[in-house]
Amino acid sequence: MNKIKASIVGGAGYTAGELIRILINHPNVEITSIYSTSNSGNPVSKVHEDLLGETNLIFTDKIDQDSDVVFLCLGHGKSRKFLENNLYSKNTKIIDLSNDFRVKPNHTFQERSFTYGLPELQREEIRKAKNIANPGCFATAIQLALLPLAKEGLLHKDIHINAVTGSTGAGQSLSSTTHFSWRNNNVSFYKEFSHQHEAEILQSIHYLGDDNYQLYFLPMRGNFSRGILAGVYLKTDISKEQAINLYTEYYKDHPFIYLSNDPISIKQVVNTNKCLLEIQRHGDILLITSVIDNLTKGASGQAIQNMNLLFGFDESEGLHLKPVAF
């Protein structure tokens, strides 16, 4: 099989670095272009230092219009503007990692229609798609905790979510709340009940038919680099055993979702495309804990999972990654 040609736009950021790290070892992909105007001519390993000795790729300020697939790793609101000014072949498939095309009515742009790329929700639609709006990191972790309940019409009560993310979720640009001296030994809420990923979550749950509830989401900034831990809890009549059976059945054919009988933690998933789920019941409250790596399953790994589906590869190709456990 000939390798597909992949290019990356916005090549200096965290998600681009993860894409490169995974794609250089993908058996069916050749990276032909890594676009970064601020780093043009520099070795990729100059910015992504973990890739020293792994690749000789060089940043460029010219786009590859004939790529088979383009990954847009641009800031939120910038992908749409970039595509207005840069034309790709109609045969080029685009996977956008920003929030520009995730929520209706933003799925359509010019002559392109973007499919929401959560494989555990609509894998068959992704296989037939031309362009993908890659889900957000919080949205991924939370949706994976809720999809089996939504499918069975069991979301009748208010849903409460406490979730914490690492500093890489905010990108590379420094601010007062991403600086080491602020993050170290510190934790805080932000965007309380108003996080932009809520729209994605509600859209997916409504896609499965549930809408008789309120969502209360408290996001937190953690004092660590990468990973998300989300605690999702709600009142329900189903037992823990019924919930476990429900989740086991829903995810039985999805290669990256694992149900754990033991307490789970972020270190089990860092550097992988896995999502671990743990179910507990306390009185009439069902608690679903979800952990992912925000840069892999929450961004670049999921983007490659979507690429695999778009091009007919095995869904887990190139994504057999070992967690950094210690």
3-state secondary structure 151-169: HCCCCCCCEEEEEEECHHH
Confidence grade of residue 209 (pLDDT, cut at 50, 70, 90) = confident
User: With 80 as the cut, is the pLDDT of residue 132 above it?
Assistant: yes
Q: What is the rounded CA–CA span in Å between residue 55 and residue 59?
A: 12
pLDDT of res. 191:
85
Tell me the pLDDT tens digit for each residue of 272-316. Answer: 999 999 999 999 999 999 999 999 999 999 999 999 999 999 999
% of residues, the chain, pLDDT over 70: 95
DSSP annotation of 170 reads G
Catalytic residue among 47, 83, 129, 137: 137
> Strand 131-133 relative to strand 215-221: parallel, antiparallel, unpaired?
unpaired
User: With 70 as the cut, is the pLDDT of residue 215 above it?
Assistant: yes
Q: What is the rounded CA–CA span in Å between residue 280 and residue 123?
A: 28
One DSSP character per residue, 132-156 reads EEPPPHHHHHHHHHHHHHHHTT---
DSSP annotation of 106 reads T
Q: What is the rounded CA–CA span in Å between residue 54 and residue 70?
A: 21
User: With 70 as the cut, is the pLDDT of residue 169 above it?
Assistant: no
Q: Among 13-27, 69-83, 130-144, 182-196, whose mean pLDDT is lowest? A: 182-196
User: Which residues neighbour 323 within 8 Å (Cβ) at sequence distance 6 or greater?
Assistant: 267, 268, 269, 270, 271, 272, 274
Determine whether 137 is an active site residue.
Answer: yes
Confidence grade of residue 211 (pLDDT, cut at 50, 70, 90) = confident
Q: Which CATH class is domain 137-294?
A: alpha beta
pLDDT of res. 196:
84
Q: Which CATH class is domain 4-135+297-310?
A: alpha beta
Pull the structure tokens for residue 55.
Answer: 């690749």
Mean local confidence (pLDDT), 255-277: 97
pLDDT of res. 293:
97
Tell me the pLDDT tens digit for each residue of 235-250. Answer: 999 999 999 999 999 9
Confidence grade of residue 193 (pLDDT, cut at 50, 70, 90) = confident
pLDDT of res. 76:
85
Q: What is the rounded CA–CA span in Å between residue 289 and residue 37?
A: 41
User: With 90 as the cut, is the pLDDT of residue 175 above it?
Assistant: no
**Mean pLDDT computed over every residue of the chain:** 93
Domain parsing of the chain, residue ranges = 4-135+297-310, 137-294
Q: What is the rounded CA–CA span in Å between residue 31 and residue 17?
A: 13
User: With 70 as the cut, is the pLDDT of residue 176 above it?
Assistant: no
314: three-class secondary structure by DSSP: coil
User: With 80 as the cut, is the pLDDT of residue 174 above it?
Assistant: no
User: With 80 as the cut, is the pLDDT of residue 177 above it?
Assistant: no
pLDDT of res. 184:
82
Angle made by CA atoms 40, 301, 121, in degrees to the nearest 5: 135
Tell me the pLDDT tens digit for each residue of 118-128. Answer: 999 999 999 99
